[in-house]
Structure 1
Amino acid sequence: MQPTNSAFTGNQATDALTEDKVSEIKLALRKEPEVQQLAHSIDERDQIQILEFGKEPAVQISRFSDQILNNMRTTKVEDSGELLKQLGRIMDKFDKKDFEQTSKGFFGKLFKKSEKMMEKLFGKYQSMGQEIDKVYVEISKYQTEMVDSTTMLDEMYEQNYQYYLTLEKYAVAGQVKSDDLKQNMLPQLESKALAGDQLAGMQLDTLRNAIELLDQRVYDLEMAKMVALQTAPQIRLLQRGNTKLIGKINSAFVTTIPIFKNGLIQAVAAKRQKLVADSMSELDRRTNEMLVRNAQNISQQSVDIARLAGAPSIKIETIEESWNIIMKGMQETKSIEEENKRLRAEGTKKLEQLQNNFKQMKLKG
């Protein structure tokens, strides 16, 4: 018979399984008709039935713990470290000096080389933008995987809670049956046996053995239940670590990288316009030496063009700030990942120890 968990669903499944809550659940379950029916289904004369009482949910929780351990071992948190290193190498190519103002004499000396210099600068940041795009795609995939992992962990937490409730029902039902036997049948048989009833004496020995087996079975179910109880906080720790990573990845990378990349594109375009405008101004100045009168109007127009073209839509400070956010995000994400690794290692070790203890108890039982 597989019990349902209709009495404890919804928001209760998301609450922490504290000691007080466990006591409340036990008291409430003793009054449930379903638990009473489970207790009545136990035949104290059938030792095999007693030994296998609650076997199915106990096996399920053991397999479920193995599933959580496997999830810990196959996590891709470590894979993000290489992404951060790759992004760090790309970001190191950014140089604020590439976009600073240059002295006027510079353009006079390098008038013929300005176009080549601009192409070199454009090529550098175009290549940098393409590399950032590749990392951005991988980071976005990683964020999606982390969101999926967090959703899966939430489902696992709910499933773990349902396993716990099922085990609790079997354990409570076994205890109810044991209490009933001790309070009702045992005293009656003891009285008859003392009165010299030999049949009652034989039945008394059988009943005492059944009660002992039932109490041992309840203890085994309690141990299996503790595995589920202690697995719950481990799942929440994994979720909390994932949530921190998702938030950091979104704020430092997914949101900021496109801003930084667009800023680079506009800054390079503004730099090119400035070089062209300054080159035009220099050419006009030399022409004015030969054509003084006509050069006055041309010079004024050139200055206006230079001023108009020299005002970028995005300030270099904005790009620098985006760069700082990304670099800081990489450092903070690395710290979070190190903490997650530590928590996963501790959780894995703890669950493996619980599994070993549970299996040892099963072997002894």
Structure 2
Amino acid sequence: MDQNENEIPTPELTFHPVSEQPAADPQSTLGKTASTAVEEPQLTPEEQKMVDDFSAKIDLTNTTQVLQYGSGAQKKMADFSENALENVKTKNLGEIGQMLSGVVTELKSFDVADDDKGFFARFKRSGNKLTALKARYAKVETNVDKICEALESHQVQLLKDTSMLDKMYEVNKTYFKELSMYLIAGKNKLKQVRTQELPALQQKAQKTGLPEDAQSANDLSNMCNRFEKKLHDLEL
């Protein structure tokens, strides 16, 4: 991960995610508030203030801002997932897997000794079947001992991996909370526009009867729908 090994990032909200961060269009939802597919987290007073301040700065008339809304948090989570997968792929436990497969294969082949037409049929005829069976069990026992030794040698690394996964889990929780804060801020802004600004424009259009006032109300309604779809995409 890019963060310091002992550092857990804190949530941050920004309108310029592309330059600052390293690293669906369902018609049925129009006219409704965005769904709550993402459970809203418990926010600290500082985080709630951050959300409220950020929500007040959202401008639904700014197309670029709407298109990039929350993309920084999305990129962080995508980069985190890629990094986590890369850590998993680089773990070299193939040797143990091969040894286990060998033991399983060896055990499965034991029933061949009961087949008179099999390779070990001659041991039956010579009276050495028991000796051969003991030899095969001894071989399996040796392989099991090797597996135990290999597992013990990986113990320290496994403990380190557990610590790393715990740290990655905490980092992922932060990124998830950050994305949730974008959603909360966006929903609050959408609700405020639809319950205050949009009705005011619609009432004005009805009162004046002017085409330009009706167009302004219609434009703002479309902007709300566009932003709502953006919030829906963030929840997917």
TM-score band by shorter chain is 0.5 to 0.7
Relative to the length of structure 1, the TM-score reads: 0.39
Counterparts in 2 of 1:303-314, with a 5 A limit? none
2: CA distance, partners of 1:24 / 1:46: 26
2: CA distance, partners of 1:178 / 1:27: 20
Contact persistence 1:54–1:167 (CA under 8 A): yes
Q: Can you list the C-alpha shifts for 1:212-261, whole angstroms capped at 9, x where unaligned?
A: 111011111111xxxxxxxxxxxxxxxxxxxxxxxxxxxxxxxxxxxxxx
| Equivalent residue number for residue 162 of structure 2 | 150
Counterparts in 2 of 1:189-268, with a 5 A limit? 189-195=201-207, 196-223=209-236
Matched residue SS, 1:32: helix
Structure 2 residue identity aligned to 1:36: D
1:168 to 168, 173, 180: 180
Once the 2 structures are TM-superposed, how far is the Cα of residue 71 of structure 1 from its aligned partner?
A: 3.2
> If you compute each CA radius of gyration, which structure gives the higher value, 1 or 2?
1
Structure 1 residue identity aligned to 2:203: S
Counterparts in 2 of 1:47-126, with a 5 A limit? 47-82=63-98
Contact persistence 1:51–1:213 (CA under 8 A): no
Matched residue SS, 1:176: helix
Contact persistence 2:51–2:184 (CA under 8 A): yes
Q: Can you list the C-alpha shifts for 1:28-63, whole angstroms capped at 9, x where unaligned?
A: 78x911111111111121111011111111111112
Matched residue SS, 1:25: coil
1: CA distance, partners of 2:39 / 2:102: 52
Distance 1:26-1:85 versus aligned 2 partners, 3 A rule: closer
Indicate the structure whose relative CO is greater, using CA pairs within 8 Å and at least 6 residues apart: 2
1: CA distance, partners of 2:101 / 2:202: 77
Once the 2 structures are TM-superposed, how far is the Cα of residue 149 of structure 1 from its aligned partner?
A: 1.4
| Equivalent residue number for residue 253 of structure 1 | none
Structure 2 residue identity aligned to 1:61: M
Is 1:41 equivalent to 2:57 in the alignment?
A: yes
Once the 2 structures are TM-superposed, how far is the Cα of residue 79 of structure 1 from its aligned partner?
A: 2.7
Once the 2 structures are TM-superposed, how far is the Cα of residue 176 of structure 1 from its aligned partner?
A: 0.5
Structure 1 residue identity aligned to 2:58: I
2: CA distance, partners of 1:84 / 1:202: 71
Mark the runs of 5 or more structure 1 residues left unpaired by the alignment: 7-21, 88-131, 224-365
Contact persistence 1:39–1:176 (CA under 8 A): yes
Contact persistence 1:58–1:221 (CA under 8 A): yes
Q: Percent identity?
A: 28
Once the 2 structures are TM-superposed, how far is the Cα of residue 78 of structure 1 from its aligned partner?
A: 3.2
Matched residue SS, 2:205: helix
Once the 2 structures are TM-superposed, how far is the Cα of residue 203 of structure 1 from its aligned partner?
A: 1.8
2: CA distance, partners of 1:24 / 1:35: 12
Mark the runs of 5 or more structure 2 residues left unpaired by the alignment: 1-8, 13-37, 104-144
